[in-house]
Amino acid sequence: MTNDSDERSLPATGVDALLSGLDDEQRVVAKTLLGPVVVLAGAGTGKTRAITHRIAYGVATGVFPPGKVMALTFTARSAAELRSRLRPLGAGGVSARTFHSAALAQLNFFWPQVVGGDVPRLLEGKARLIGQVAETLRLRVDTATLRDLAAEIEWRKISNLSIEAYGLAARSSRTLPGTLSVEQVLDLQTGYERIKDERKQLDFEDVLLATAGMIESEPSVAMQVREQYRFFVVDEYQDVSPLQHHLLSLWVGDRRDLCVVGDASQTIYSFAGAQSAFLLSFASAYENSTVVRLEQNYRSTPAVVDTANRLMRGRTGALNLRASADQLGRGPEPSVTGHSSEASEARAVAAAAARLIVEGTKPEDIAILYRMNAQAAALEGALAEAGVTYQIRGSQRFFDLPEVKQAVMSLRAASVSISGEPLFKSVSDVLRSLGWSQSPPEGRGAVRDRWESLNAIMSLAEQQPARTSFRTFTDELLERQAGQHEPTISAVTLATLHSAKGLEWPTVFIIGLSEGLVPISYATTLDQVDEERRLLYVGITRARQRLLLSWAETGASRSQVRSASRFLAELGTRTADARPAG
């Protein structure tokens, strides 16, 4: 916590500018700079705003030397967003990285000193090597089983288990790939590690394991790492795995300047090793911790917030969200609609989306969420038939599109020689040379898709602060490209519930709310069903204003008869007991 002299060291207007836009709880987060801090932050409560202003306030008051701060998160996109928010707050010198990128940087630096030579080559994927081991063991495994074996190796490593310890877990609680026995899976994992070591290769998880090993075994490495970074902020702490938690503990050492932020109700990656227990036990693990609850929701209408609260009531670690007083009215009540089949559900949702667009809703303000990727097929056909432009989140990435790559290169090249002109003119001149125009081409198809991509870059330029230089804009564009921090495109978004986490839209459809889909059929234990509940909670809290839920009585096959999800009965939403429509 800064004292009064810290605040007087900076002009009052500077401090006020960093704190004035925060609510009371966010302000506590921002001003509690020293010691252990845990922020229990519900969906839509402004957690990213709170922690970025905390970092900026620490830098502005001189408590945080920028080079001594490490902000950690779990995806390159999230890290890029943190950096983009910190820069205009005067904290651009702070390192914001994923666990993996931070560990890889340390590994590249220390490996030549500790081990000698270059860092081993990183393995691009595990499946091929596992397949080679299977051949030597005379085991026949198909492609799907190879993928599942790779996932088991990843789970073992991020759970920080030896192969022997994994064997104990496999015998008691793991569902093994295909028809393989525990002994066969252990033999495959042992062979995988042996061949990988012989070839001097590391896989993705080894980067964290090797970094942790160096810090543990080499006092000089531990000293240098802890000298480099003194203050730590970890976002999405409910997603931390045992291996990441172990590495973080090594980075922090015996110091206490650690701030973690998370929401137990958004733990949806338990299958990948995430454990919300680290978040929920933080206050007891660190004596005299400051605990702050962010429960004021600024995203959703009271009607949506009430629905989310009902779903999570009484669950471990659940926060009680409060709708913001700034919301205009209660908003429309979320609705539930039943359908006779997945096809009729897809057609009804496509028609509703088309109707909203005709009434003035922007396509990019609509999302359709579902449990499994396979559910997108029926939606794609229905949306195309209804004349609705859509994009599938997680398909080809924006910055991998050929026209976008060309545009980024052209803008970068032009920024070297062009200066002094208004940013809009500089960017529009380059994009016009590539086929962009202020008015979109008529109709749908590849030409319109190309225009949408170039127009998304133009929109990024329009969103820049006044007096942003052309070079600064292209630097940010390159950073977005590296972090796959994609701009908004004018199209309805199709996404799985998992991939929707961290995003929001004014209108959200959640389809397929039937038993066997939500909760998924293989969620058989209480813990697994609770994870499915949290997944639905994440979907519900993506909606700002309008939430439309639906389910279908039959799947692709008429023999797949389903009932409405057990979760719908708990939501208190309108027409939850509706008969499936044709």
CA dihedral for 461, 77, 255, 257, sign (positive or negative): positive
Nearest-angstrom CA–CA distance, 241 and 244: 5
DSSP 8-state class, residue 578: P
* Annotated binding-site residue? 47: yes
Q: How far apart are CA 90 and CA 79, in angstroms?
A: 17
The answer on whether 41 is annotated among ligand-binding residues is yes
Torsion over CA: 568, 280, 212, 190 (sign): negative
Here the tokens at position 143 are 């492609």
**Backbone φ, ψ for residue 72 (5° rounding):** -115, 140
- Is residue 346 a known part of a binding site? no
Question: β-strands 335-339, 366-370: how paired?
Answer: unpaired
Tell me the CA distances in angstroms from 169 to 134, 158, 205, 206, 226, one per residue in order. 22, 14, 19, 20, 34
Backbone angles phi, psi at 572, to 5 degrees: 65, 25
| Residue 361 marked ligand-binding | no
Q: Which residues pair with 574 in a beta bridge?
A: 335
Residue 190 in marked binding region: no
The answer to whether 568 touches 576, Cβ cutoff 8 Å, is yes
Check residue 115 and report its DSSP letter. T
φ and ψ at 13, to 5 degrees? Answer: -65, -35
Please name the helix (run of DSSP H) or strand (run of DSSP E) that holds residue 294, with its range, or none.
Answer: strand 290-294
**Which amino acid does the sequence have at 349?**
V
The rounded distance, in Å, linking the Cα atoms of 398 and 135 is 39
Q: Provide the 10 A C-beta neighbour count for residue 320.
A: 11
Token pair recorded at residue 338? 């039943």
Query: Measured between alpha carbons, how far is 349 from 494 in angstroms, rounded to an integer?
Result: 12
H helical segments located in 20-142: 24-31, 47-60, 76-86, 99-114, 127-136
The answer to whether 218 and 164 have CB atoms below 8 angstroms apart is: no
Is residue 161 classed as helix, strand or coil in its secondary structure? coil
150 is in an annotated binding site: no
Helices 127-136 and 143-158 cross at an angle (nearest 10°) of 110
In single-letter form, the type of residue at position 540 comes to I
- Phi-psi category of 94—alpha, beta or left, where left has phi over 0 and alpha has psi -120 to 50? beta
Annotated binding-site members: 41-48
Annotated binding-site members for ATP: 41-48
